Structure 1
Amino acid sequence: MDLPLTLLGLALLLVGLVAIGSASIEFGDWNYGSPWFHTKRHLVYIVLALAAAAIVYRVPTSVWLQTGWVWLFAALALLILVLLPGIGKDVNGSQRWLPLGPFTLQPSEFAKLAVVVYLAGYLVRQADTVRADWQGFLRPMGVLGFVALLLMVEPDFGATVIVVGTSFGMLFLAGVRLMHFLAVLGVALLGLVALVFSAPYRVQRLTAYTDPWADPYGSGFQLIQSLIAYGRGEWLGVGLGNSVQKLFYLPEAHTDFVFSIWAEETGFLGASVVIGLYAALVARILWVGRRAARAGEDFGAYLCYGVALIFSGQAFVNMGVSSGLLPTKGLTLPFVSYGGTSLIVCCCMLAMVLRVQAEVPEPKAPRGAKR
């Protein structure tokens, strides 16, 4: 396995465990009578994620290439299943989870992985068609549109943005015609704008993001508390475990806004370290993808590009939301936020990249070179 990539992934897992252990102590004690309730569950998720990653790493990339459509249909089935009354679990007006005993499954996380695997295979099989005419470009757009529709019905606007953005990025890197790309991208952006203004709560989030102090105890409350956490952190933080904002001031402190608590407790220095880990992780994945492309392993290259786009997109959106750079969206921070499905899928994605790296042949040394 690629050692730098493996160590970067493990470092982010460790950061997540420490951050969740600190951010969830009071919440777990108040709601479940155990301060380490979420920490113990997250440890179980880590074990399950590493076991799933070990299995995925053993699967050759050729298998993913041949079965991409199977995973896409499985993801579509789960996205439809979660919308059925009495089956999907409704939380805060969003029906995104399938209850599985003591745990829940979030189909939108699995859909991200399935779309990347399917689209990477499609770009290999239809490489010439995608670059030559509209038909090859619009066909995956139809599939993507159906996935986005199911995600919006839940509703899960954040996952929709990540899936659509990742797909467009992969198509652009595959070499589609610029005019085709810009035309469809323009239509997609208009559609996203229409979706924002079609729901009052999305408009409310947008206005709260531009001026959260206009409604400090209502729509702007969460962002204001997150900004206070950033401000209290200053350069070196208040120390691990000493956060004040996690004391029921900042809602969802151990999930979507865990980075705010981390910034409060470790300061600018700790936040910069995490940002640096993500930058190094994405750069290393892109390096693996570039190496696969040079070796003629196009499927592995597109797979790496898709995974890099998902990790970078989710990290940017999550940190941007918590710092007031972007409107509030419910997206997990890869490897760090509390959530079993997200953690398992992220580890499986990283395992696929490690498999691509393992399968790419080493470049031959020039004839006459010393060994």
Structure 2
Amino acid sequence: MTVHKSLPLTERWAQSYQPIWQPDVVLLSSCVILMLFGLVMIASAGVDVSEQLFGVPYHFVLRHAIYLLIGTFAGLIVSLVPTAFWQRHSPVFLLIGFLLLVLVLFPGIGQQIKGSRRWIDLGPVGFQPSELVKVSMILYVGAYLVRRRDEVINSWSGFLKPVLVLALVVILLLMEPDFGAVVVILGTILGMLFLGGVKPGQFLLAMFAAVGAVIVMALSESYRVQRLLAFRNPWSDENVYGSGYQLTQSLIAFGRGEWFGVGLGNSLQKLFYLPEAHNDFIVAIIAEELGLFGIVILIGLYCVMIHRIFRVGRLAELQENLFGAFCCYGIGILFASQAFINIGVNTGLLPTKGLTLPFISAGGTSLIVSICLIALVNRIYGETLRMGHRV
């Protein structure tokens, strides 16, 4: 939507920063159901751990509810801001992301938990810079693909520039270390570059380089090697109570769930058998309590949400809103990869790696950022409707 600069400032603001009165009902409905589903499952999975750690049974679910409210408020703000704002200021957000990734490495600023320095201590809460960096990279690459589209398609320099930025982000994340965020960001940005029109040879070269880098990173630390060995045979004598312990307990939960589960709240694995039952391994608790039926519903909700995100991106592309389209594609790839990796880890399809399940797992920064990303997609949808396209 074009806003004339000759208008008074208040009128220009009123034309640009207006709410979306025609939201994407399907997208928002699937997300709201996922968030409520996650709230219920955190209440079920975290009650015993919360009682032991904090002396109250509903610490985790109350904290998650507060983050939901904060995320909803932040999402409403995002829905008021035109996509042109994010496109114009994408380098600023990328710079902020870089600064936060550097700050988190300093003792006294970055909070070290389980050997990794991934959180900035903000008193009662912790902030995870890698979640913000995912967003800033999507915004930056989306704006770059619009600004340098011809260069990206026709020359190596247009392709290598965002790859160098991506490499710097990966190096900073590995210094924390946050291997899961590295894999997700690599997949998301390379997917955006592919959809942005890079040549197949360039994309394949980048893919081979990324896969090679991931293999080297996986084999560079002894604990990662142990996880890979445990992934191959978690039931061996040396793994079942060692590196493969979480995976074996997760698989036991899946086995107990069968078709329709043992009933909401009746999980045994959450009783201190399965670590991080309310967080990284909440899918195992869903499988145990709600069975295969619950897992199919969960995957179905993600399929609806991700399909809708890509649908909005395609319509934005048809309307020649390329920045909105690339952002939707990046957000869709991000959610799809995180959901696939988390569910794959829980089922033993992938090696164990700490990565939250969007809208379901306990995690404040991840939840707030996820809600804001959906709000951005909804804003793009609303702007597309004003341009004359309906889904």
Fold conserved between structures, TM > 0.5: yes
Q: State the 1:361 CA deviation.
A: 3.7
Q: CA deviation at 1:337?
A: 0.4
The match for 1:55 is: 77
Q: Which amino acid is 1:26 matched to? A: D
After TM superposition, give the deviation of residue 85 of structure 1 in Å.
Answer: 1.5
- 1:153 is matched with 175
Deviations 1:73-127 (A, max 9, x none): 1111111000012211111101100111100000011111110011100000000
Structure 1 residues 363 and 50: alpha-carbon distance in aligned structure 2, compared to 1, 3 A threshold: closer
- Equivalent position SS for 1:213: coil
Separation (CA, whole Å) in 1 of partners of 2:243 and 2:199: 42
Which amino acid in structure 1 is aligned with residue 166 of structure 2?
A: L
**Alignment pair present for 1:64 and 2:73:** no
2:330 to 299, 306, 316: 306
1:219-368 aligned at under 5 Å gives the runs 219-361=243-385
Matching residue's letter, 1:8: S
What residue identity is the alignment partner of 1:123? L
Structure 2 CA distance for partners of 1:163 and 1:236, relative to 1, 3 Å: same
The correspondence for 2:191, drawn from 169, 178, 182, is: 169
Distance 1:37 1:360, change over 3 A: same
Identity percentage of aligned residues: 49
Between the aligned partners of 1:364 and 1:34, the Cα distance in structure 2 is 53
Which residue in the other structure is 2:241 paired with?
A: 217
- For the pair 1:121 / 2:143, whether they are aligned, the reply is yes
Q: Distance in 2 between matches of 1:363 and 1:137?
A: 31
Aligned to 1:139: 161
Moved beyond 2 Å, runs of 4+: 361-365
Counterpart pick for 1:40 among 36, 41, 62: 62
Is the aligned partner of 1:105 residue 2:131?
no
1:162 and 1:184 map into 2 onto residues whose CA distance is 15
How many pairs are equivalent?
365
Deviations 1:311-363 (A, max 9, x none): 00000000000000000011000010000000000000000000000001467
Query: What's the TM-score, normalizing by structure 2?
Result: 0.92
Q: Which runs of 5+ in 2 are unaligned?
A: 1-22
Aligned to 2:17: none
**TM-aligned CA distance change 1:57 to 1:362, over 3 Å:** closer
Q: Residue deviations 1:22-41, cap 9 Å, x none?
A: 00000000110000011110
User: Structure 1 counterpart of 2:106, which letter?
Assistant: L
For the residue of structure 2 that corresponds to 1:212, the secondary structure is coil
| CA distance, structure 2, for counterparts of residue 187 and residue 289 of structure 1 | 28
1:79 aligns with 2:101: yes
